[in-house]
């Protein structure tokens, strides 16, 4: 028995730490409904998942201390489930970055041309598709350069001349009086 270490000091330390934990969790567990009602939805999810994880990990620790196979117990499955909630919350907090890669169309066309060079029919259809795409792009660029109100330019000149003649008539009418 000389090789066995006296664990009473460690047990006393554990007991005091558990008492401290109970004191720290008492306000939280006593008023959890009031506390959560004042929080935003994401913070509520964090609170409830952290509370559940704390309780489950305490149960897991208690099972380990009793010598039970805690890895095959239902508490272990609950711990894993709550950890999945942590992952879901983290995914919501940090949305995935937008894709920064784009398709290099010219390189893809070169690869297709090289691979289809043996098959004349497919090569011809590919060349037609590329020509169509180029024509669409050219048409789009030309449409983008047009002024949006070409027809209204002529009518605005006529409107201005009509307004000038009305103003002249008003001025003549005032001088005659």
Q: How far apart are CA 45 and CA 51, in angstroms?
A: 10
Whether the full predicted model's pTM is greater than 0.85, yes or no, is no
Of 88, 32, 81, 46, give the one whose Cα is nearest residue 60: 81
Mean pLDDT of the chain: 78
Per DSSP, helices labelled H in 31-149 are 32-37, 41-66, 74-93, 105-115, 120-145
pLDDT of residue 157: 47
Question: What is the tens place of the pLDDT at every residue in 80-128?
Answer: 999 999 999 998 888 777 777 888 888 887 887 777 777 778 778 878 8
Q: Which token pair is 100? A: 């920064």
Q: Which two tokens stand for residue 147?
A: 């002024």
Extended beta strands in the chain, E state: none
């Amino acid at each position: 028995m000389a090789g066995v270490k006296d664990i009473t000091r460690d047990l006393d330390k554990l007991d005091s730490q558990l008492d401290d934990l109970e004191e720290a969790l008492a306000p939280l567990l006593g008023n959890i409904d009031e506390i959560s009602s004042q929080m935003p939805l994401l913070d509520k999810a964090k609170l409830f998942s952290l509370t559940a994880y704390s309780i489950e990990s305490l149960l897991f620790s208690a099972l380990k201390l009793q010598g039970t196979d805690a890895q095959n117990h239902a508490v272990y499955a609950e711990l894993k489930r709550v950890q999945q909630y942590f992952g879901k919350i983290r995914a919501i907090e940090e949305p995935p970055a937008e894709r920064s890669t784009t398709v290099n169309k010219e390189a893809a066309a070169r690869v297709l041309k090289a691979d289809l060079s043996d098959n004349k029919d497919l090569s011809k259809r590919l060349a037609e598709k590329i020509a169509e795409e180029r024509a669409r792009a050219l048409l789009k660029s030309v449409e983008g350069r047009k002024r949006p109100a070409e027809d209204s330019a002529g009518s605005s000149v006529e409107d201005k001349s009509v307004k000038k003649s009305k103003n002249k008539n008003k001025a003549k009418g005032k001088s005659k009086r």
